[in-house]
A and B are shown apart, each in its own frame.
Chain A
Amino acid sequence: DVKVTQSSRYLVKRTGEKVFLECVQDMDHENMFWYRQDPGLGLRLIYFSYDVKMKEKGDIPEGYSVSREKKERFSLILESASTNQTSMYLCASRGGRAETQYFGPGTRLLVL
Chain B
Amino acid sequence: AQTVTQSQPEMSVQEAETVTLSCTYDTSESDYYLFWYKQPPSRQMILVIRQEAYKQQNATENRFSVNFQKAAKSFSLKISDSQLGDAAMYFCAYRSAANNNDMRFGAGTRLTVKP
The interface residues of chain B lying within 8 Å CB-to-CB of A44 are 105
Chain B nearest CB, measured from A14 CB (Å)? 25
B33 touches A42 (CB 8 A): no
Q: For the complex, is B47 an interface residue (Cβ under 8 Å from A)?
A: yes
Closest to A100 in B: B47
Interface bracket on A: 20 to 34
Pick from B9, B33, B45: contact of A90, CB under 8 Å:
B45
How far, in angstroms, from A35 to B89 measured CA to CA in the complex? 16
B101 touches A42 (CB 8 A): no
The interface residues of chain A lying within 8 Å CB-to-CB of B107 are 40-42
A42 touches B105 (CB 8 A): yes
Q: With A42-B106, A42-B107, A43-B91 as given contacts, are A103 and B101 in contact (CB-CB < 8 Å)?
A: no
How far, in angstroms, from A101 to B106 measured CA to CA in the complex? 16
How far, in angstroms, from A30 to B99 measured CA to CA in the complex? 15
The prevalent SS among residues of A at the interface is strand
A45 touches B103 (CB 8 A): yes
Q: How many residues on chain B are close to A (CB under 8 Å)?
A: 24
Q: For the complex, is A48 an interface residue (Cβ under 8 Å from B)?
A: yes
Pick from A56, A98, A100, A106: contact of B101, CB under 8 Å:
A56
Pick from B43, B93, B101: contact of A48, CB under 8 Å:
B101
Annotate B78-115 by CB proximity to A: 1 below 8 A, 0 otherwise. Answer: 00000000000001010101001111011110000000
B50 touches A100 (CB 8 A): yes
Interface contacts beyond A101-B95, A103-B44: sample of 12 additional A-B pairs, CB < 8 Å, sorted by A:
A33-B101, A41-B107, A42-B91, A42-B105, A42-B107, A43-B105, A45-B102, A97-B100, A100-B50, A102-B47, A103-B37, A106-B44
